[in-house]
Amino acid sequence: MDTATAEWTAASEDEPVRHPGRRLAAWCAGLLLLAVSAVVGCRVADTDGITPVPQVLAFLPWLLVPAALALLLTLLARWRLGMVWALALLGLLAWFIEPYGRTDDAGGTPVAEFQVLTSNVEFGRGTGSLVPEIRRHRPAVVFVEECEYGCQDTLRREFGTEYPYRQAVAAEGSKGSVILSRFPLKDTGGVRGTMGMPGAVADVGGHEVRLQLAHPMPPLPGQVGVWRRELGRLRDTAASTRTPLVLAGDFNSSQDHAAFRRILDTGLSDAAALAGHDRTPSWPARLTPTFGTQIDHVLLSRDFSASSARFLRLTGTDHRALLVDVTLHQRGRP
């Protein structure tokens, strides 16, 4: 190739960058790709990173939008490396959108079927709309987060006879929580946290079932360490429990958070995922189902299967309640 031809080829390759509009498109695409890559990189590395990554990870599937926009901009800019970069990010995002953890049903003989309801009533403000849902569905076990003094008084007044067994942390604001049960309960002391996380062992037709309410701190800027530590305590509880376990509540985390996946790695499965609703958003309720993330979960040990999961819209709270139908199985001896 002679010098003139080489210079013409170089000029042709540089032309997309020299064009002002294409240069702007390339810069915008590069910024979008860098931002998305920072979050996806943490997902690939199996870490939650630092602020703002933990907050953005909750909405990981929505990163498809800026990644797709970046791909369009790279096409406009004729930036080939950027196109490959954008396509790689889109592929990774599509891969990570798949459900995480066990999705098969439990084996063994079914011994009990019942419903479990979990609801964050946001400082007690959603209690009034939760009451009729409990009456309508009559779940056997109800986990209520951010159930302060007034909320607990209301539930005791409305369901003192129907739900004679309860385990609660009585506190104001977001720190109060309660487990209501039709099954007899024994206190287990719960899990230590900034907000109340009571626990109990239920007698389900002669079978012991551990019930644990989950409500760790949210991953607010400056509180990520506390959030990770409290999720770690829930993970330790799940790992050390040898009886059938129902771990339910507002986890302030989704399957895209490494700290939450560590809980699933103990052998628990998300009831919503078992029922085919692994990406149905539960928060913020005012924007669901159009936009949001699933941070309210009912996690089940291998002794359980789940046949359905429904997200119920309540007024007065920014969370949707989650109602699941579960079956307890008697596993055969190894």
pLDDT of residue 102: 65
CA nearest 192: which of 221, 176, 209, 216? Answer: 216
Tokens coding 216: 């760790």
Instruction: Tell me whether residue 302 is in a domain.
Output: yes
Paired with 197 in beta bridges are none
Tokens coding 110: 């079914």
Instruction: Tell me whether residue 172 is in a domain.
Output: yes
Sort residue 108 into left (φ over 0), alpha (ψ -120 to 50) or beta: left
Of the residues 72, 96, 120, the one at which a domain ends: 96
| Residues written for the chain | 334
Instruction: Tell me whether residue 285 is in a domain.
Output: yes
Q: What total number of domains does the chain contain? A: 2
pLDDT of residue 323: 98
222 and 122, same structural domain? yes
pLDDT in tens, 207-259: 999 999 999 999 999 999 999 999 999 999 999 999 999 999 999 999 999 99
Of the residues 45, 68, 96, the one at which a domain ends: 96
159 and 185, same structural domain? yes
pLDDT of residue 10: 39
CA nearest 27: which of 138, 178, 19, 316? Answer: 19
Cα 200 from Cα 214, distance rounded (Å)? 12
Paired with 200 in beta bridges are 187, 211
With tokens 């062992």, the residue in question is 201
pLDDT in tens, 131-182: 999 999 999 999 999 999 999 999 999 999 999 999 999 999 999 999 999 9
164 and 60, same structural domain? no
Quick one: average pLDDT of 260-272?
97
232 and 122, same structural domain? yes
The pLDDT mean for the chain works out to 93
> Beta strand pairing status for 207-214 and 245-250?
parallel
Instruction: Tell me whether residue 103 is in a domain.
Output: no
Instruction: Tell me whether residue 84 is in a domain.
Output: yes
Report in angstroms the alpha-carbon separations of 27 from 34, 90, 122, 155, 233: 11, 19, 42, 56, 44
> Beta strand pairing status for 269-270 and 304-312?
unpaired
Report in angstroms the alpha-carbon separations of 127 from 19, 121, 282, 325: 60, 6, 17, 22
162 and 73, same structural domain? no
227 and 87, same structural domain? no
CB 263 within 8 A of CB 231: yes
pLDDT of residue 331: 76
Tokens coding 239: 């790992």
**What φ, ψ does residue 274 adopt, rounded to 5°?**
-60, -30
**What φ, ψ does residue 119 adopt, rounded to 5°?**
-155, 130
pLDDT in tens, 56-101: 999 999 999 999 999 999 999 999 999 999 999 999 999 999 999 8
pLDDT in tens, 287-321: 999 999 999 999 999 999 999 999 999 999 999 99
What's 321's domain CATH number?
A: 3.60.10.10
pLDDT of residue 14: 44
DSSP code, position 216 = P
62 and 150, same structural domain? no
With tokens 């891969």, the residue in question is 95
pLDDT of residue 18: 57
Give the angle 250-244-48 at the CA atoms, nearest 5°: 40
Instruction: Tell me whether residue 101 is in a domain.
Output: no
116 and 60, same structural domain? no
125 and 23, same structural domain? no
Tokens coding 113: 């079927």
317 and 241, same structural domain? yes
Instruction: Tell me whether residue 189 is in a domain.
Output: yes
208 and 63, same structural domain? no
Give the angle 61-279-137 at the CA atoms, nearest 5°: 155
CA nearest 61: which of 89, 30, 103? Answer: 89
pTM over 0.95: no
Of the residues 64, 96, 128, the one at which a domain ends: 96
82 and 27, same structural domain? yes
Instruction: Tell me whether residue 102 is in a domain.
Output: no
Is 80 exceeded by the pLDDT of residue 187?
A: yes
pLDDT band at 21 (very low <50, low <70, confident <90, very high): confident
CB 168 within 8 A of CB 179: yes
Q: Which domain holds residue 92?
A: 3-96
